[in-house]
Amino acid sequence: MNDHAMNLQACIDDLGTLLAFDTTSHRSNRPLIDWVANRLEGQGYRVMVQQAPDEDKANLFASIGPEDQGGLMLSAHSDVVPVAGQNWQSDPFVLREADGRLYGRGSADMKGFIACMLQAAPHFAASALKAPVHLALSYNEETNMGGMKQLAAALAQTAHPPRACVIGEPTSMQVVVANKGAAIYRFKVRGFEVHSSLRDQGVSAVEAAAQIIVRSQMIQDRMRQDLRHDGFDFPYSSIHVGRIAGGTAHNITAKDCEFMLEIRALPGRAAAPFIAELKLWCEQELLPAMRSIASVSDVQIEEITDSPSLDERGNNRLARAMMPLCACHATGRVSFGTEGGILQDAGIPTIICGPGQISVAHQADEFVEISQLKACLHYLGQLRGQLERDPSCFF
Protein backbone atom coordinates (compact mmCIF):
# COMPACT_ATOMS: atom_id res chain seq x y z
CA MET A 1 0.00 0.00 0.00
CA ASN A 2 1.43 3.36 -0.99
CA ASP A 3 0.40 5.57 1.92
CA HIS A 4 2.19 8.60 0.46
CA ALA A 5 0.11 8.51 -2.74
CA MET A 6 -3.08 8.55 -0.65
CA ASN A 7 -2.00 11.89 0.82
CA LEU A 8 -1.74 13.65 -2.53
CA GLN A 9 -4.97 15.63 -2.04
CA ALA A 10 -3.90 16.56 1.48
CA CYS A 11 -0.60 17.75 0.01
CA ILE A 12 -2.47 19.93 -2.47
CA ASP A 13 -4.58 21.33 0.37
CA ASP A 14 -1.43 22.13 2.35
CA LEU A 15 0.04 23.88 -0.66
CA GLY A 16 -3.05 26.07 -0.79
CA THR A 17 -2.55 27.01 2.85
CA LEU A 18 1.15 27.74 2.31
CA LEU A 19 0.45 29.93 -0.73
CA ALA A 20 -2.01 31.98 1.32
CA PHE A 21 0.83 33.09 3.59
CA ASP A 22 2.24 36.11 1.73
CA THR A 23 5.92 35.55 2.46
CA THR A 24 7.24 37.98 -0.16
CA SER A 25 10.78 38.77 0.99
CA HIS A 26 9.98 42.27 2.23
CA ARG A 27 7.30 40.83 4.55
CA SER A 28 7.52 38.69 7.69
CA ASN A 29 7.48 34.91 7.34
CA ARG A 30 6.56 34.37 11.01
CA PRO A 31 2.90 33.39 10.44
CA LEU A 32 4.00 30.54 8.14
CA ILE A 33 6.85 29.49 10.45
CA ASP A 34 4.60 29.48 13.51
CA TRP A 35 1.94 27.45 11.70
CA VAL A 36 4.47 24.82 10.61
CA ALA A 37 6.14 24.77 14.05
CA ASN A 38 2.85 24.11 15.85
CA ARG A 39 1.96 21.34 13.42
CA LEU A 40 5.31 19.57 13.74
CA GLU A 41 5.39 19.91 17.52
CA GLY A 42 2.02 18.17 17.59
CA GLN A 43 3.59 15.26 15.71
CA GLY A 44 6.42 14.87 18.20
CA TYR A 45 9.16 16.83 16.45
CA ARG A 46 11.81 18.67 18.42
CA VAL A 47 11.33 22.18 17.03
CA MET A 48 13.67 25.17 17.11
CA VAL A 49 12.51 28.55 15.83
CA GLN A 50 15.53 30.79 15.25
CA GLN A 51 14.67 34.48 15.26
CA ALA A 52 16.39 36.73 12.73
CA PRO A 53 18.70 39.24 14.43
CA ASP A 54 17.25 42.43 13.00
CA GLU A 55 13.84 41.77 11.41
CA ASP A 56 10.57 39.96 12.08
CA LYS A 57 11.57 36.74 10.38
CA ALA A 58 12.72 33.30 11.51
CA ASN A 59 14.21 29.98 10.50
CA LEU A 60 12.69 26.68 11.57
CA PHE A 61 14.62 23.51 12.33
CA ALA A 62 12.64 20.44 13.39
CA SER A 63 14.02 16.97 14.16
CA ILE A 64 12.61 13.47 14.65
CA GLY A 65 14.42 10.22 15.39
CA PRO A 66 17.66 9.45 17.28
CA GLU A 67 19.25 12.43 19.04
CA ASP A 68 22.80 11.07 19.24
CA GLN A 69 23.73 11.34 15.55
CA GLY A 70 23.58 13.79 12.65
CA GLY A 71 21.09 12.36 10.19
CA LEU A 72 19.54 13.81 7.05
CA MET A 73 18.18 17.33 6.55
CA LEU A 74 15.39 18.29 4.12
CA SER A 75 15.46 22.01 3.47
CA ALA A 76 13.40 24.74 1.77
CA HIS A 77 13.23 28.51 1.84
CA SER A 78 9.97 30.05 2.97
CA ASP A 79 10.18 33.40 1.17
CA VAL A 80 8.95 34.18 -2.34
CA VAL A 81 9.65 36.94 -4.87
CA PRO A 82 7.26 39.87 -5.48
CA VAL A 83 4.32 39.76 -7.88
CA ALA A 84 4.26 43.53 -8.53
CA GLY A 85 4.11 44.39 -12.22
CA GLN A 86 3.28 40.84 -13.30
CA ASN A 87 0.12 39.95 -15.23
CA TRP A 88 -1.39 37.07 -13.28
CA GLN A 89 -4.55 35.38 -14.50
CA SER A 90 -5.73 34.84 -10.91
CA ASP A 91 -4.85 35.85 -7.34
CA PRO A 92 -1.21 34.73 -6.92
CA PHE A 93 -1.80 33.93 -3.24
CA VAL A 94 -4.83 31.70 -3.85
CA LEU A 95 -4.19 28.24 -5.25
CA ARG A 96 -5.75 27.68 -8.67
CA GLU A 97 -5.88 24.19 -10.19
CA ALA A 98 -6.19 23.76 -13.95
CA ASP A 99 -5.06 21.12 -16.45
CA GLY A 100 -2.99 19.19 -13.92
CA ARG A 101 -1.19 22.29 -12.69
CA LEU A 102 -1.34 24.17 -9.38
CA TYR A 103 -0.88 27.92 -9.84
CA GLY A 104 0.30 30.43 -7.24
CA ARG A 105 3.32 32.44 -6.15
CA GLY A 106 5.85 30.01 -4.71
CA SER A 107 4.09 26.87 -5.96
CA ALA A 108 7.30 25.75 -7.68
CA ASP A 109 9.80 27.90 -5.79
CA MET A 110 9.42 26.30 -3.36
CA LYS A 111 6.27 25.75 -1.34
CA GLY A 112 5.42 22.64 -3.34
CA PHE A 113 8.36 20.93 -1.67
CA ILE A 114 7.33 22.29 1.74
CA ALA A 115 3.87 20.79 1.25
CA CYS A 116 5.48 17.44 0.45
CA MET A 117 7.70 17.70 3.52
CA LEU A 118 4.63 18.31 5.68
CA GLN A 119 2.87 15.27 4.27
CA ALA A 120 5.94 13.10 4.84
CA ALA A 121 6.47 14.44 8.37
CA PRO A 122 4.01 12.20 10.26
CA HIS A 123 5.28 9.15 8.37
CA PHE A 124 8.85 9.92 9.44
CA ALA A 125 7.59 10.36 12.99
CA ALA A 126 5.84 6.98 12.95
CA SER A 127 8.87 5.13 11.53
CA ALA A 128 11.67 3.29 13.26
CA LEU A 129 14.33 5.61 11.88
CA LYS A 130 17.94 4.53 12.25
CA ALA A 131 19.07 8.11 11.63
CA PRO A 132 17.21 11.33 12.41
CA VAL A 133 15.37 13.46 9.89
CA HIS A 134 15.52 17.25 10.11
CA LEU A 135 13.09 19.60 8.37
CA ALA A 136 14.41 23.13 7.82
CA LEU A 137 12.78 26.33 6.55
CA SER A 138 14.85 29.46 5.99
CA TYR A 139 14.11 33.13 5.40
CA ASN A 140 15.51 35.64 2.85
CA GLU A 141 16.86 33.13 0.33
CA GLU A 142 15.53 35.36 -2.44
CA THR A 143 17.46 38.42 -1.20
CA ASN A 144 20.68 37.88 0.75
CA MET A 145 20.44 34.25 1.96
CA GLY A 146 20.88 35.58 5.47
CA GLY A 147 18.51 33.00 6.94
CA MET A 148 20.52 29.96 5.92
CA LYS A 149 23.78 31.66 6.80
CA GLN A 150 22.43 32.15 10.31
CA LEU A 151 21.05 28.60 10.57
CA ALA A 152 24.15 26.91 9.12
CA ALA A 153 26.38 28.76 11.59
CA ALA A 154 24.22 27.53 14.47
CA LEU A 155 24.13 23.94 13.20
CA ALA A 156 27.91 23.87 12.89
CA GLN A 157 28.13 24.51 16.65
CA THR A 158 25.83 21.63 17.67
CA ALA A 159 27.05 18.28 18.95
CA HIS A 160 25.46 16.37 16.05
CA PRO A 161 24.93 18.59 12.99
CA PRO A 162 23.20 17.03 9.95
CA ARG A 163 25.48 14.80 7.94
CA ALA A 164 23.70 15.40 4.62
CA CYS A 165 21.04 17.66 3.13
CA VAL A 166 18.54 17.70 0.27
CA ILE A 167 17.30 21.15 -0.78
CA GLY A 168 14.01 20.91 -2.64
CA GLU A 169 14.51 23.66 -5.22
CA PRO A 170 12.61 22.89 -8.45
CA THR A 171 14.65 20.44 -10.52
CA SER A 172 11.82 18.29 -11.96
CA MET A 173 12.80 15.73 -9.29
CA GLN A 174 16.25 15.22 -10.77
CA VAL A 175 19.40 15.23 -8.66
CA VAL A 176 21.48 18.39 -9.07
CA VAL A 177 25.00 18.23 -7.67
CA ALA A 178 26.41 21.68 -8.50
CA ASN A 179 25.30 25.25 -8.86
CA LYS A 180 27.07 28.53 -9.45
CA GLY A 181 27.61 31.03 -6.69
CA ALA A 182 25.36 34.07 -6.45
CA ALA A 183 26.91 37.43 -5.56
CA ILE A 184 25.26 40.84 -5.81
CA TYR A 185 27.00 44.18 -5.31
CA ARG A 186 25.69 47.74 -5.33
CA PHE A 187 27.95 50.38 -6.91
CA LYS A 188 27.32 53.99 -5.86
CA VAL A 189 29.12 56.56 -8.00
CA ARG A 190 29.34 60.22 -6.89
CA GLY A 191 30.13 62.91 -9.44
CA PHE A 192 29.86 66.71 -9.50
CA GLU A 193 26.91 68.43 -11.16
CA VAL A 194 27.19 71.48 -13.40
CA HIS A 195 25.24 72.71 -16.41
CA SER A 196 26.13 70.52 -19.36
CA SER A 197 27.37 73.55 -21.30
CA LEU A 198 30.20 73.60 -18.74
CA ARG A 199 30.71 69.86 -18.72
CA ASP A 200 34.49 70.00 -18.34
CA GLN A 201 33.96 71.60 -14.93
CA GLY A 202 31.73 68.75 -13.80
CA VAL A 203 31.98 64.99 -13.37
CA SER A 204 29.20 62.80 -14.72
CA ALA A 205 28.46 59.91 -12.35
CA VAL A 206 26.52 58.24 -15.16
CA GLU A 207 29.50 58.30 -17.51
CA ALA A 208 31.83 57.09 -14.76
CA ALA A 209 29.44 54.22 -13.99
CA ALA A 210 29.39 53.36 -17.69
CA GLN A 211 33.18 53.08 -17.67
CA ILE A 212 33.02 50.65 -14.73
CA ILE A 213 30.40 48.58 -16.56
CA VAL A 214 32.54 48.47 -19.70
CA ARG A 215 35.43 47.34 -17.51
CA SER A 216 33.24 44.59 -16.07
CA GLN A 217 32.52 43.32 -19.57
CA MET A 218 36.24 43.09 -20.20
CA ILE A 219 36.33 40.79 -17.19
CA GLN A 220 33.48 38.78 -18.73
CA ASP A 221 35.49 38.37 -21.92
CA ARG A 222 38.36 37.03 -19.84
CA MET A 223 36.01 34.69 -17.97
CA ARG A 224 35.26 33.03 -21.29
CA GLN A 225 38.94 32.13 -21.58
CA ASP A 226 39.17 30.94 -17.97
CA LEU A 227 37.64 27.95 -16.21
CA ARG A 228 34.97 26.16 -18.26
CA HIS A 229 32.41 23.62 -17.06
CA ASP A 230 30.30 22.09 -19.83
CA GLY A 231 27.76 20.76 -17.31
CA PHE A 232 26.23 24.25 -17.08
CA ASP A 233 24.01 25.89 -19.71
CA PHE A 234 26.39 28.86 -19.72
CA PRO A 235 29.69 27.06 -19.12
CA TYR A 236 31.62 30.03 -17.70
CA SER A 237 31.41 32.33 -14.74
CA SER A 238 29.32 35.39 -15.56
CA ILE A 239 29.23 39.07 -14.64
CA HIS A 240 26.14 41.13 -15.39
CA VAL A 241 24.64 44.55 -14.68
CA GLY A 242 20.87 44.28 -14.44
CA ARG A 243 19.84 47.68 -13.10
CA ILE A 244 21.14 51.25 -13.33
CA ALA A 245 19.74 54.64 -12.30
CA GLY A 246 21.22 58.12 -12.19
CA GLY A 247 21.08 61.74 -13.20
CA THR A 248 18.38 64.39 -12.94
CA ALA A 249 18.13 66.06 -16.35
CA HIS A 250 19.56 65.90 -19.83
CA ASN A 251 21.44 69.19 -19.36
CA ILE A 252 23.06 68.53 -15.97
CA THR A 253 26.11 66.35 -15.40
CA ALA A 254 24.87 63.55 -13.16
CA LYS A 255 25.75 63.95 -9.50
CA ASP A 256 24.85 60.33 -8.60
CA CYS A 257 24.52 57.01 -10.32
CA GLU A 258 23.84 53.57 -8.85
CA PHE A 259 23.90 50.15 -10.46
CA MET A 260 23.59 46.53 -9.39
CA LEU A 261 26.23 44.06 -10.51
CA GLU A 262 25.81 40.30 -10.29
CA ILE A 263 28.48 37.61 -10.46
CA ARG A 264 27.67 33.92 -10.86
CA ALA A 265 30.92 32.10 -10.31
CA LEU A 266 31.53 28.48 -11.25
CA PRO A 267 32.51 26.00 -8.55
CA GLY A 268 36.21 26.54 -8.02
CA ARG A 269 35.88 30.30 -8.50
CA ALA A 270 34.74 33.10 -6.19
CA ALA A 271 33.24 36.53 -6.85
CA ALA A 272 35.49 38.44 -4.45
CA PRO A 273 38.63 38.54 -6.68
CA PHE A 274 36.65 40.01 -9.58
CA ILE A 275 35.19 42.71 -7.33
CA ALA A 276 38.65 43.42 -5.92
CA GLU A 277 39.92 43.88 -9.47
CA LEU A 278 37.18 46.39 -10.27
CA LYS A 279 37.80 48.24 -7.00
CA LEU A 280 41.54 48.49 -7.70
CA TRP A 281 40.90 49.80 -11.23
CA CYS A 282 38.54 52.44 -9.85
CA GLU A 283 41.11 53.54 -7.27
CA GLN A 284 44.07 53.61 -9.64
CA GLU A 285 42.53 54.68 -12.95
CA LEU A 286 39.03 56.10 -12.69
CA LEU A 287 38.95 58.07 -9.43
CA PRO A 288 42.18 60.05 -9.96
CA ALA A 289 40.77 61.45 -13.20
CA MET A 290 37.41 62.24 -11.58
CA ARG A 291 38.99 63.86 -8.51
CA SER A 292 41.30 66.02 -10.61
CA ILE A 293 38.08 67.89 -11.50
CA ALA A 294 36.06 67.48 -8.29
CA SER A 295 37.51 66.12 -5.05
CA VAL A 296 34.08 64.93 -3.88
CA SER A 297 34.02 62.25 -6.57
CA ASP A 298 33.78 58.73 -5.20
CA VAL A 299 32.90 55.10 -5.91
CA GLN A 300 31.44 52.97 -3.14
CA ILE A 301 30.94 49.21 -3.47
CA GLU A 302 28.44 47.51 -1.16
CA GLU A 303 28.07 43.74 -0.90
CA ILE A 304 24.39 42.72 -0.87
CA THR A 305 25.08 39.00 -0.79
CA ASP A 306 27.87 36.64 -1.75
CA SER A 307 26.77 33.03 -1.51
CA PRO A 308 29.20 30.28 -2.50
CA SER A 309 28.72 27.76 -5.27
CA LEU A 310 27.79 24.15 -4.64
CA ASP A 311 30.71 21.92 -5.63
CA GLU A 312 29.91 18.37 -6.70
CA ARG A 313 33.24 17.13 -5.40
CA GLY A 314 31.70 17.26 -1.93
CA ASN A 315 28.48 15.33 -2.49
CA ASN A 316 29.13 12.39 -4.83
CA ARG A 317 28.30 9.74 -2.24
CA LEU A 318 25.02 11.42 -1.31
CA ALA A 319 24.04 11.89 -4.96
CA ARG A 320 24.68 8.25 -5.84
CA ALA A 321 22.52 7.12 -2.94
CA MET A 322 19.66 9.49 -3.79
CA MET A 323 19.45 8.88 -7.54
CA PRO A 324 17.68 5.48 -7.41
CA LEU A 325 15.10 6.84 -4.98
CA CYS A 326 13.84 9.44 -7.47
CA ALA A 327 14.44 7.50 -10.69
CA CYS A 328 17.28 9.82 -11.71
CA HIS A 329 19.78 8.42 -14.22
CA ALA A 330 22.17 11.35 -14.59
CA THR A 331 23.07 14.21 -12.28
CA GLY A 332 22.65 17.83 -13.33
CA ARG A 333 24.22 21.24 -12.79
CA VAL A 334 22.37 24.56 -12.65
CA SER A 335 23.30 28.21 -12.92
CA PHE A 336 20.73 29.51 -10.44
CA GLY A 337 21.86 30.09 -6.88
CA THR A 338 20.85 27.91 -3.93
CA GLU A 339 21.67 27.64 -0.24
CA GLY A 340 23.64 24.46 -0.97
CA GLY A 341 27.07 26.09 -0.98
CA ILE A 342 26.40 27.64 2.45
CA LEU A 343 25.62 24.24 3.92
CA GLN A 344 28.55 22.62 2.12
CA ASP A 345 30.88 25.25 3.59
CA ALA A 346 29.45 24.36 7.01
CA GLY A 347 30.50 20.74 6.47
CA ILE A 348 27.12 19.36 5.36
CA PRO A 349 27.19 17.58 1.95
CA THR A 350 24.19 18.80 -0.04
CA ILE A 351 22.29 18.02 -3.23
CA ILE A 352 19.36 19.79 -4.88
CA CYS A 353 16.23 17.81 -5.79
CA GLY A 354 12.63 19.00 -5.76
CA PRO A 355 9.34 19.22 -7.67
CA GLY A 356 8.62 21.72 -10.40
CA GLN A 357 10.49 23.63 -13.08
CA ILE A 358 12.87 26.51 -12.45
CA SER A 359 11.75 28.07 -15.75
CA VAL A 360 8.38 29.08 -14.25
CA ALA A 361 9.81 30.32 -10.94
CA HIS A 362 9.53 34.10 -10.41
CA GLN A 363 7.17 34.32 -13.41
CA ALA A 364 3.52 35.33 -13.64
CA ASP A 365 1.24 32.28 -13.30
CA GLU A 366 3.96 30.24 -11.61
CA PHE A 367 2.85 26.62 -11.26
CA VAL A 368 3.85 23.15 -10.14
CA GLU A 369 2.48 20.04 -11.82
CA ILE A 370 0.39 17.72 -9.65
CA SER A 371 2.41 14.86 -11.13
CA GLN A 372 5.56 16.45 -9.71
CA LEU A 373 4.11 16.56 -6.20
CA LYS A 374 3.11 12.91 -6.58
CA ALA A 375 6.64 12.03 -7.67
CA CYS A 376 8.10 13.95 -4.72
CA LEU A 377 5.83 12.16 -2.24
CA HIS A 378 6.90 8.83 -3.71
CA TYR A 379 10.54 9.85 -3.40
CA LEU A 380 10.09 10.83 0.25
CA GLY A 381 8.43 7.48 0.88
CA GLN A 382 11.41 5.72 -0.66
CA LEU A 383 13.72 7.87 1.42
CA ARG A 384 11.87 6.97 4.61
CA GLY A 385 12.25 3.29 3.82
CA GLN A 386 16.00 3.66 3.30
CA LEU A 387 16.34 5.52 6.61
CA GLU A 388 14.57 2.61 8.30
CA ARG A 389 16.73 -0.03 6.63
CA ASP A 390 20.24 1.41 6.31
CA PRO A 391 20.94 5.15 6.19
CA SER A 392 24.72 4.67 5.99
CA CYS A 393 24.60 4.90 2.19
CA PHE A 394 23.89 8.64 2.49
CA PHE A 395 26.81 9.44 4.77
60 touches 33 (CB < 8 A): yes
What is the rounded CA–CA span in Å between residue 341 and residue 180? 9
| pLDDT tens track for 46-68 | 999 999 999 999 999 999 999 99
pLDDT for 92: 98
- Which residues in 271-307 are b (16+ Cβ under 10 Å) and which e? beebbeebbebbeeebbeebeebbeebbbeeeeebbb
Identified catalytic residue from 34, 55, 68, 79: 79
**Residue 250 φ/ψ region, left for φ over 0, alpha for ψ in the -120 to 50 degree band, beta for the rest:** alpha
What is the rounded CA–CA span in Å between residue 315 and residue 350? 6
pLDDT for 2: 46
pLDDT at 107 over 70: yes
Closest to 282 in 3D by CA, of 340, 343, 230, 214 = 214
Closest to 150 in 3D by CA, of 159, 138, 160, 165 = 138
pLDDT at 337 over 60: yes
pTM confidence score = 0.92
| pLDDT tens track for 246-274 | 999 999 999 999 999 999 999 999 999 99
Q: What's the rounded mean pLDDT across residues 213-223?
A: 97
pLDDT for 1: 36
Give strand pairing partners of 46.
Answer: 63
Q: How confident is the model at residue 329 (pLDDT cuts 50, 70, 90)?
A: very high
pLDDT for 332: 95
Helix, strand, coil percentages (3-state) for the chain, rounded to 5, are: 40, 25, 40
Closest to 150 in 3D by CA, of 66, 35, 55 = 55
What is the rounded CA–CA span in Å between residue 213 and residue 209? 6
Q: Is 141 a catalytic residue?
A: yes
What is the rounded CA–CA span in Å between residue 53 and residue 139? 12
pLDDT at 278 over 70: yes
Q: What number of other Cβ atoms are within 10 A of residue 98's Cβ?
A: 11
Q: Is 262 a catalytic residue?
A: no
pLDDT at 5 over 60: no
pLDDT for 321: 97
For residue 329, count CB atoms less than 10 angstroms from its CB and return exposed for 0-12, middle for 13-18, buried for 19 or more: exposed
On average, the pLDDT of the chain sits at 96
pLDDT for 366: 98
pLDDT for 3: 45
Q: How confident is the model at residue 237 (pLDDT cuts 50, 70, 90)?
A: very high
pLDDT for 4: 42
What structural domains does the chain harbor? 8-179+309-394 (3.40.630.10), 182-307 (3.30.70.360)
- Which residues in 14-35 are b (16+ Cβ under 10 Å) and which e? bbbebbebbbbbeebbbebbee
Largest CA distance in the chain: 82
| pLDDT tens track for 150-174 | 999 999 999 999 999 999 999 999 9
169 touches 110 (CB < 8 A): yes
Q: Residue 336: helix, strand or coil by DSSP?
A: coil
139 touches 52 (CB < 8 A): yes
| pLDDT tens track for 346-369 | 999 999 999 999 999 999 999 999
Identified catalytic residue from 109, 141, 339, 369: 141
